[in-house]
Amino acid sequence: MFKFLRRLVGAVIVLAVIVAAGGFAWVRVVAHDRIYDATEAPYRDVALVLGAGLSADGTPSPYLSGRLDEAVALYNAGSVSVILVSGDNRTTSYSEPDAMVGYLVEQGVPREDVVADYAGLDTYDSCYRARDIFGVTSVTVIGQSYHIARAVTTCRMLGLDAIGVGNEQPHATSTWRWGVVRELGSNTKLIVDLVQRREATIMGAQETSVTDALARHGR
């Protein structure tokens, strides 16, 4: 019995490694040639900034401020017309979207070109809601470089014309290393979400804030 259990555990571990490796390879195939530096990214209507936590004082975390800086660079270069910030608003005292809006406005982005999604609980939800709630079809999704392939793949598999910009800083940290490892499981979860055709956790009425902003730009 012990020998059988040991073989069973070994088989499960091998299968898990194969699935994780397959998911890792798949997202990179789908995102191939669609990840850019902000200085070289072709035009897309909307920059989708994924949430990445807040510091203790309520301002964007270093990871999140890095993502927002990429969005500012894209906007200033004319590579996007509107910035959609998507994050967690779990309590009245914790709002990633509000912190992101404030940061972008402080960096000189006009408030009318920044739209907040308060229910972007994960990457899948953010891409899903960008499409179904905000009417986005053309997007540059922004995250840390270790997970930008999955973000681009998520948006593409949900039908968006998506490219990605991955922020590289800060790099040599335990948080970054853990993020790289976590991607193995997250890639597998993405496949499950897509197969099950999962809806975003929080849906709601369609909003016109993105399309209205694009119309002001003649888009």
Domains defined for the chain, CATH in brackets: 2-216 (3.40.50.620)
Query: Which regions of the chain does DSSP assign to beta strands (E)?
Result: 35-36, 46-50, 82-86, 114-117, 138-144, 161-167
DSSP state of 112: G
Q: Which residues contact 161 (CB under 8 A, 6 or more apart)?
A: 44, 137, 138, 139
The model's pLDDT over 78-116, given as tens digits with 9 standing for 90+, comes to: 999 999 999 988 777 799 999 999 999 999 999 999 999
Sign of the CA dihedral with 191 first, then 33, 52, and 114 last: negative
pLDDT-based confidence at residue 187 (cuts at 50, 70, 90): confident
Average pLDDT in the 137-155 region?
93
- Rounded Cα distance, 65 and 104, in Å: 9
This prediction's pTM: 0.87
pLDDT at 29: 66
Output the six-digit token pair for 81. 């017309």
Dump pLDDT digits (tens) for 10-52. 444 544 555 555 556 667 666 789 999 999 999 999 999 999 8
Rounded distance between C-alpha atoms, residue 149 and residue 173, angstroms: 20
Whether the predicted pLDDT of 138 surpasses 60:
yes
- What is the mean pLDDT of the segment spanning 56-79? 95
